[in-house]
Chain A
Amino acid sequence: MTTPGRSGLLFREPTLFERSRPGRRGVPIDRPDVPAVDPRELLGASARDEITDFPEVSELEVVRHFTRLSQWNFSIDTGTYPLGSCTMKYNPRLNERAAALPGFASLHPLAPEGAIQGILALGYTLEEVLAEISGLDRVTLQPAAGAQGEFVGMKMIQAYHRARGDLKRDRVIIPNTAHGTNPASAALNGLEVVELRVGPDGIVHPEDLDGLLDERTAAFMLTNPNTLGVFETYVEEIASRVHAAGGLVYMDGANMNALLGVAKPGHMGVDVMHFNLHKTFSTPHGGGGPGSGPVAVRNILAPYLPVPVIRREGERYVLDEEFPNTVGRVHGFMGNVGMWIRALAFIRTLGADGLADVTRCAVLNANYLLAALRSSYDLPHGRRVMHECVLTDKRQQAHGVSTADIAKRMMDYGFHPPTIYFPLVVSGALMIEPTENESLESLDALIEALESIAREAATEPDTVRNAPTRTVVRRVDEVRAARQPRLRWTRETDPSPSGGGA
């Protein structure tokens, strides 16, 4: 007997294309009460007959299809998701309702100014709030994600140097602990990346900059707290050295969850930074996005903000395109506006004390995990951590168990794995970020799972190496995926019984 289930009520689910049957229909389409136009007559040779192999499925099949797929995902709503550097915090449904208000969700981006006063007021307010949190002066909400924020920030820095006739500054110094987007964003601006190697304690020391700073330094890019979860204690002195050499300081704000109400980047000597609204301000990660990457700058960089800029004129808000020194536009319209609404809803729900509590609890949770796990796992450094901590697989390696194995085994215990093999400077890194939302019981369960896996690594390493066994699929063959890339369904490669690849 063929059952729909793969195991119990965990269902098999073919692709949409394999479910498709010629002539089957989904939603009905109304015909308008105007004369029909024959596309073949109108378009001639430009007319298209049909879209070959486009799916033909019923509405219920669509519902079942995506419901079943959703059940194959681990999510924050399902359980603890301690993916370091990604701040997988609770995504309040209130924020979803706010963004779905028709006055926001059905607002056309090219509507005239008189028709968009509410959203401009909201954007302006969010800019003010982010300026306050960052300790900087001006904010643009246009970048669609952190990486685009980095791109815009670096571009503004270049524009600043150029406007001063300082044309030789074509290098950016970036520590080797940085997110990969940092060097990639610098390179996209045509800048040369100079890598700074951090010492064994994982932080940048002012003297590390000796020999790196010169008249070609455009900027120094720093993540604070850094990707080891450690506060860059010398940030102020580092910033003043960079400034003395004529460069500017960019801060990757991916880890702002550790600083809310505690310290402001603007007071550390930072000239420009980006936020990740999908990390710090609770907008949902959506299986890979959308994000939103607002950039905050000191007044010296304000002339270079991307256009259009939201400007307030008394009681009215206007979109100002008249910025002669602007770096230009980076988004088709104003950015990922739906994320602004959610972030502001979060910030207004919490207020100043609530935001400070976020950071206090996030830091408490990470330190609690670290205190408990140091007896089972090796640590790359001995410093105090902020909102996340990094472990390594050094002890487990002795038994032939790697970070990847530990991560896969965590799934069998009902947890999403941490970020693995990052930062690159730590061999076999496991980067754990619990966020402020996890309760003591869920932290203890996570600790228990990781301790148990450490014991298994010593006593029954094959159990760890063969993990996961309780997921919808077992370990996926990544090598085969890369060697024979199959990036779309085709009739010829369809592995289902009716397909050519069976």
Chain B
Amino acid sequence: MSYTPHTPDDIARMLGRIGVSSVGDLFDSVPESLRSRGELKLARPLAEQALLGYLGELAGRNASCERTASFLGGGAYHHFIPATVDALASRGEFLTAYTPYQAEVSQGTLQAIFEFQTLMCQLTGLEVANASLYDGASATAESALLALRTTKRRRVLLGAGVHPHYAQVLRTYLEGIGAEIQELPIGPDGRTELAEVPADTACIVLQQPNFFGCVEQLAPFARAAQAAGALLVSTTAEPLALALVQPPGAEGADVACGEAQSFGVPLSFGGPYAGFLTTRQKFVRQLPGRLIGESVDSQGERAFVMTLTTREQHIRREKATSNICTNQGLMALRVTIWLALHGKQGLRELAESNLALAHYARAKLREVGLELPYSAPVFNEFVVAGRGLTARAAKVDPTEMLPGLSLERIDPRRRDQLLICTTEMNTRAEIDRLAEVLAP
């Protein structure tokens, strides 16, 4: 089985035209010493039914959020995906096309991504967006790189409220070019504390809402950055919050990036997701990755096409704004479909229901005697603390409930703190049960 169509007769005819006597002859440019002797050592092939049995057994060993009451967030959010998203995004014309290099036969992908770029700009309040990046983490790193290029400086002030994995990826990306990273701590209310911005600062990077769920006030950071000639980068892991919270662009952020997984992309153990990056028009030539633009065809009809490609690796090579080639196109399409299905009103209502559930959960957990260490407003995620909390959470059977993320996993100083997330997938009864199992 290899999905190959040739009959022995086809092969004979093809070899005849090529002028060789066997398929093996076609490999004569591979030196004998390098040829593999014997087959690859792989498990025996499985037909469709048996394969699904094998993979189904592996899938069954995982605690799917469809069957367990999950209160996990922290950069990956369990939101409902309407059937229409899967039906449309799985159309072969979208699924089995590639990067729209040839505009005339790729108008579907091109227009959809143009719409994605527009939606991302509308959410963040900024002017231009690219066609997607790998995920929120690499989008954050690429944003910092954009700031370093633009300002020709080398210091990054990194808020401690940025997702710890995003921060790690940012360090990995920036390590090779000798940037200096300085951390801005979290204050007692759960928001990042503003500090003096050194003169060699390229950017301040904050997360909105931050990793601990708190809504940041970006405007003072934007002013401080601007006064120092630096940029403010705002990254967002839960962009549903932007339906209710001031968009980063309106608060003065120069770059707003993040992770759009919340909008119709399955959890899928962390990927594939959809990173996004938006910025001001004046930085458009510094953007990493693909950009789709509107133009016309030779008859004057509206048409879309990849544009400003001279920024990119396939033209500019080592001087490109990024090394990214393949992005997350299909995920960006899912995001576009999901957002279109929700629309202006639906998105707001969904965000309001997330907000209401989180505040119900906060009240419930406080009622049973747990602490809420931070006073800043939250959207659908928050930190809860209390002696023995981690131990109680660890005792819960994961096939019944995933009672939040133990922050000790991220930072050993955060003992007995859980990051709890509630979405529309959680019921009131589940939250009541959560309060019971976590109660001291």
- Which single residue of chain B is at the shortest CB-CB distance from A234? B31
Which B residues, 222 to 246, have Cβ-Cβ distances below 8 Å to chain A? Answer: 242-246
Q: How far is the CA of A354 from the CA of B39 in the complex (A)?
A: 10
Determine whether the beta carbon of B6 is less than 8 Å from that of A354: no
Q: Mark interface residues in B291-315 (1 if CB within 8 Å of A CB, else 0).
A: 1111111110111110111101111
Determine whether the beta carbon of A55 is less than 8 Å from that of B344: yes
Residues of A within 8 Å of B344, CB to CB, are 50-51, 54-56
A-B contacts counted at CB < 8 A amount to 720
Determine whether the beta carbon of A475 is less than 8 Å from that of B297: yes
Determine whether the beta carbon of A119 is less than 8 Å from that of B307: no
Nearest CB on A from B39, distance (A): 4
Determine whether the beta carbon of A331 is less than 8 Å from that of B169: yes
Determine whether the beta carbon of A181 is less than 8 Å from that of B323: yes
B29 CB contact (under 8 Å) in A62, A386, A439, A482: A386
* Interface size of B as a range: 35 or more
B215 at interface, CB cutoff 8 A: yes
Residues of A within 8 Å of B34, CB to CB, are 235-236, 263, 267-268
Which B residues, 149 to 185, have Cβ-Cβ distances below 8 Å to chain A? Answer: 163, 165-166, 168-169, 171-173, 175-178
A9 at interface, CB cutoff 8 A: no
* Interface size of A as a range: 35 or more
Nearest CB on B from A310, distance (A): 12
Determine whether the beta carbon of A144 is less than 8 Å from that of B138: yes
Nearest CB on B from A70, distance (A): 4
Q: Mark interface residues in A63-102 (1 if CB within 8 Å of B CB, else 0).
A: 1011111111111111001010010111110101111111
A311 at interface, CB cutoff 8 A: no
A186 at interface, CB cutoff 8 A: yes
Determine whether the beta carbon of B104 is less than 8 Å from that of A352: no
Residues of A within 8 Å of B94, CB to CB, are 66, 70, 73, 75, 286-287
A48 CB contact (under 8 Å) in B10, B115, B243: B243
B386 at interface, CB cutoff 8 A: no
Determine whether the beta carbon of B19 is less than 8 Å from that of A287: no
Nearest CB on A from B18, distance (A): 5
Q: Mark interface residues in A356-390 (1 if CB within 8 Å of B CB, else 0).
A: 11101101110110011000000000011010000
B412 at interface, CB cutoff 8 A: no
- Which single residue of chain B is at the shortest CB-CB distance from A440? B10
Determine whether the beta carbon of B95 is less than 8 Å from that of A236: no
B201 at interface, CB cutoff 8 A: no
Of the candidates A42, A129, A264, A344, the one having the most CB atoms from chain B within 10 angstroms of its own CB is A42
**Given A70-B93, A358-B4, also A331-B270 (CB < 8 A):** yes
Which A residues, 453 to 480, have Cβ-Cβ distances below 8 Å to chain B? Answer: 466, 468, 471-478, 480
B342 CB contact (under 8 Å) in A23, A27, A437: A27
> Which one of A108-116, A242-250, A394-402 is at the B interface?
A108-116
Determine whether the beta carbon of A286 is less than 8 Å from that of B333: yes
Minimum-distance CB pairs A-B, first 3: A333-B270, A286-B330, A103-B59
B329 CB contact (under 8 Å) in A76, A282, A288, A488: A288
A407 at interface, CB cutoff 8 A: yes
Q: Mark interface residues in B59-91 (1 if CB within 8 Å of A CB, else 0).
A: 111111111101010111010001010111011
Sample of 12 more A-B contacts, CB < 8 Å, known A69-B108, A482-B310: A31-B349, A34-B357, A43-B245, A51-B122, A54-B119, A187-B320, A187-B323, A262-B30, A292-B272, A357-B4, A372-B17, A411-B102
Residues of B within 8 Å of A88, CB to CB, are 96, 98
Of the candidates B4, B87, B294, the one having the most CB atoms from chain A within 10 angstroms of its own CB is B4
- Which single residue of chain A is at the shortest CB-CB distance from B350? A29
Which B residues, 41 to 71, have Cβ-Cβ distances below 8 Å to chain A? Answer: 41-48, 51-52, 54-68, 70
> Which one of A209-217, A295-303, A335-343 is at the B interface?
A335-343
Nearest CB on A from B339, distance (A): 8
Determine whether the beta carbon of B244 is less than 8 Å from that of A104: no
Residues of A within 8 Å of B308, CB to CB, are 482, 485
Q: How far is the CA of A102 from the CA of B399 in the complex (A)?
A: 13
